[in-house]
Structure 1
């Protein structure tokens, strides 16, 4: 069953369905129709700024503080290009942002002249954002516009990284087809794991832990992003193992908990942490990105025989991957 409505009305209804109540942005000529659509919804608050990087950092902070998606709306060219730095930071640190940019309409694109603030080509802005987002689309077809937007939003939530949607000026008021479930399905979901692989990985990890005498648990940024702190506390208390966090993962485990030992930054960690890691015979890394910062900007000293890494929807147990 499909419903017909304007793209602007669908966008507002869809954002409301997934729990969005705040939009951060700066109005600009090619994004004005988007802002008019947002303004028609009384319980959707629009927060405007004077400079696009401030928009990006505010939406980033909102997403970190609330655990929700930070929604951004800017204009094409000057607005979109000025947003790249905060969006790139959100991509690196796993922050879910949904960026909407206006774009030139069909009439402007047919002129054969440069659009104001255009880079090399009209599509250049989209290509730039492909490098700093987990999913990106330019909405041009009324028949699949709703599905395209939904796919980006799903990717943003599942990957906990920014996504980009460019909506050309003359598309906002176009009538589109909308599948009923896109308006009634409910909230977004994380990816489901393969139960058989999870069971096998858990069995092998448990065997390594049971054979250990000096286990250590290290918690990273994905514990924050995937709302797993409660489960982490339960696991740590059952293991009875000291818990370290990475720099990005600081706060993923309560700092006042008796098992909390501090922040692990490789060989430049405080001496007690370095000593505890050196003597560990089992290290369970949960949600820890393999970044230079997490290794103290030194070559990583990973002894695979005693390590398990669960990150990026994969589990590395010793020398193999689930």
Structure 2
């Protein structure tokens, strides 16, 4: 029994704790203060006070990635919610079950049609919920305690089932209202497939794959959202199919596996991988999403007529749709019906090009990005997690060879610059056993730099490589202009500012490989956050970024069809 009375706030907090949420990210405001008081009564939850709501939302994004489960962010009405909106939209795009919780006006105020602060200055109290409804799978306003338990449970169930965010708006005079205890309920059971649709999909797909001469498997980001990584691995073990992943699914399949070919990313992917995927007479697509970013401006050539498209709850085989089929269950059943066929893997081994590793050294010449990421590669262990910010870090990070059980995080679908700073905070708290390495460009860092302060406050211990090349490199390669140049900061010295009285962070600036070697050695011994500002020439970027940027620019620059 709890040592407090059950209220709407403690009910919600307890439901989160029951589902292994140990932290929630928040910025206080007058509409959510009573709700926060109620949350503080639940000892299993730790409050993490962020610098702003956008960063709190990004932190929840990183937390959901780290734990594989729910994350929560608590904000105030309107000004707080709309500040967090961009992060919640990103979580929606990236299939992350974030519970966005907002305080709301007193029910008497809404009943009496009062003009209120933090609003648009007119009698309209629903606009925030209506906006969030576009980027969540459930958006509800809780205005009566007798309805609250059901509304909370249904929203949480939807977040877990769809792997998407939900929005709960709690009136400020309802947060402490009495309510039922949170009675036992199983939120974790995954809805089973329709047995008839599942059987038909498996039979159709198995027939085409077993008839194929050189089938391949291409996995995408929905594999994680569908909790199908283990089932995917078992299928590859059983079939010996050559296997590649799209760039936004890096680390969702073990890169040390003998059947792993690499990243399928058109002309900027792993050498040889694209040729094998595109020449396959049957391609098993598992959770793949083909966007302009993941296809290098829609230049990839997977023949969709020779593909089996396995989605979260649907399988499309030769134009035939089999719906209400869960990905993980489909893969398990399909594995039992497939024959071994390593033909495509043998073809890849014949054409595979072994990349020459960059030699580690201690040069006193100006540091290059290739040297930087060669040293990042040398740091990786099985419990590493690499967080790569939008920009050149994508392309250098994609080329890292990941040890078994390590993770790689990227926000490629949504691509919101600055995401990685808050996400690093959330990831560190969600997976304290992992050695988190964040690679962040200076332009992106300037959007969300304050959350370094929160990492220090809560003793998160990432190693942050702040890549200082004086601007928005990814935008330069897509379309350059004076808007891509930023006011440069002395980034390493920010750690001194953010440490305050109790922080244990260290910061340094390096410009040569020799200095980098020393900085990494110190960071790995340091019991706290380390920020290493890496000075890189403005024109030093991955050749793959140059090529990718050209393709994306051409795709963006197509004239209207009516001209």
With normalisation by structure 1, the TM-score equals 0.92
Cα shift at 1:302:
4.9
Question: What is the DSSP-based 3-state SS (H/G/I as helix, E as strand, rest coil) of the residue aligned with 1:285?
Answer: strand
Say which SS state the counterpart of residue 184 (structure 1) adopts.
coil
Counterpart in the other structure of 2:286: 286
Q: Distance in 2 between matches of 1:110 and 1:142?
A: 16
1 CA distance for matches of 2:114 and 2:145?
A: 26
| 2-structure distance, mates of 1:278, 1:223 | 21
What pairs with 1:85-234 in structure 2 (closer than 5 Å)? 85-119=86-120, 121-177=124-180, 183-234=183-234
Bigger radius of gyration, 1 or 2?
A: 2
Cross-structure match for 1:241? 241
Instruction: Check conservation: 2:261, 2:270, Cα contact below 8 A.
Output: no
Structure 2 distance, partners of 1:305, 1:211, is 15
Q: CA deviation at 1:175?
A: 2.6
| 2: CA distance, partners of 1:41 / 1:212 | 57
Query: Any unmatched runs of 5+ in structure 2?
Result: 323-563
How far is 1:118 from its partner? 1.1
Query: Is 1:21 matched with 2:22?
Result: yes
Mapped to 2, the partners of 1:309 and 1:29 lie a distance apart of 48
2:19–2:70 Cα contact (<8 Å) kept: no
In structure 1, how many angstroms separate the alpha carbons of the residues matched to 2:26 and 2:9?
A: 16
Rounded Cα–Cα distance in structure 2 between residues aligned with 1:186 and 1:75: 30
The alpha-carbon deviation at position 6 of structure 1 amounts to: 2.3
Deviations along 1:99-126, one digit per CA (max 9) or x if unpaired, are 1100001233245343212136211110
Q: Any runs of at least 4 consecutive aligned residues in structure 1 with deviations exceeding 4 A, and if so which?
A: 299-302
C-alpha distance in 2, partners of 1:190/1:90?
Answer: 20
Tell me if the contact between 1:309 and 1:317 (Cα under 8 Å) persists in the aligned partners.
yes
Output one character per residue of 1:9-42: Cα deviation in whole Å (capped at 9) or x when no partner: 3222222222222111111110011110110112
**d(CA) in 2 for partners of 1:268 and 1:44?**
44
Q: Distance in 1 between matches of 2:296 and 2:115?
A: 47
* Structure 2 counterparts to residues 24-63 of structure 1, below 5 A: 24-63=25-64
1:67 equivalent to 2:88? Answer: no
Deviations 1:230-279 (A, max 9, x none): 21111012121111111221111011111111111245534512211221
- Partners of 1:266 and 1:165 in 2: CA distance: 41
Task: Give a deviation string over 1:69-112, Cα, whole Å, max 9, x none.
Answer: 11111111111010011111111111110011000012332453
Paired residues of 2:220 and 2:286 also in contact (CA < 8 A) = yes
Counterpart of 2:441 in structure 1 is none
**Aligned mates of 1:310, 1:105 — CA distance in 2:** 46
- The answer on whether the counterparts of 1:30 and 1:102 sit within 8 Å (CA) in structure 2 is yes
On the 8 A contact 1:214/1:282 being kept in 2, the answer is yes
C-alpha distance in structure 1 between counterparts of 2:224 and 2:172, whole Å: 37
Distance 2:206 2:47 in 1: 49
- Structure with the higher strand share, 1 or 2: 1
6-15 or 282-291, which deviates more: 6-15
Query: SS where residue 213 of structure 1 aligns?
Result: coil
Taking the aligned partners of 1:63 and 1:98, their CA distance within structure 2 comes to: 10
Separation of aligned partners in 2, 1:271 and 1:233: 23
Q: Is the 8 A contact 2:157 2:187 kept in 1?
A: no
Contact kept in structure 2, 1:14 and 1:183, CA below 8 Å: no
Report the CA distance between 1:174 and its aligned residue. 2.1
Match of 2:533? none
Residue 295 of structure 1 and its aligned partner are, at CA, apart by 2.5
Q: Which residue of 1 aligns with 2:499?
A: none
Measured in 2, the distance between the counterparts of 1:102 and 1:203 equals 50
Say if 2:160 and 2:187, in contact at 8 Å, map to a contact too. Answer: no
Consecutive unaligned residues of structure 1, counting only runs of 5 or more, are none
Contact 2:254–2:260 (Cα < 8 Å) also in 1:
yes
Q: Residue by residue, what CA displacement relative to the aligned partner does 1:109-167 show, whole Å, maximum 9, x if unpaired?
A: 24534321213621111011011111111112333211111111111111111110000
- 8 Å CA contact 2:8, 2:176 repeated in 1: yes
Pick closer, same or farther for the CA change 1:19–1:151 going to 2, 3 Å.
same
Name the SS of the counterpart of 1:11 in structure 2.
helix
The CA RMSD measured in Å over matched residues stands at 1.9
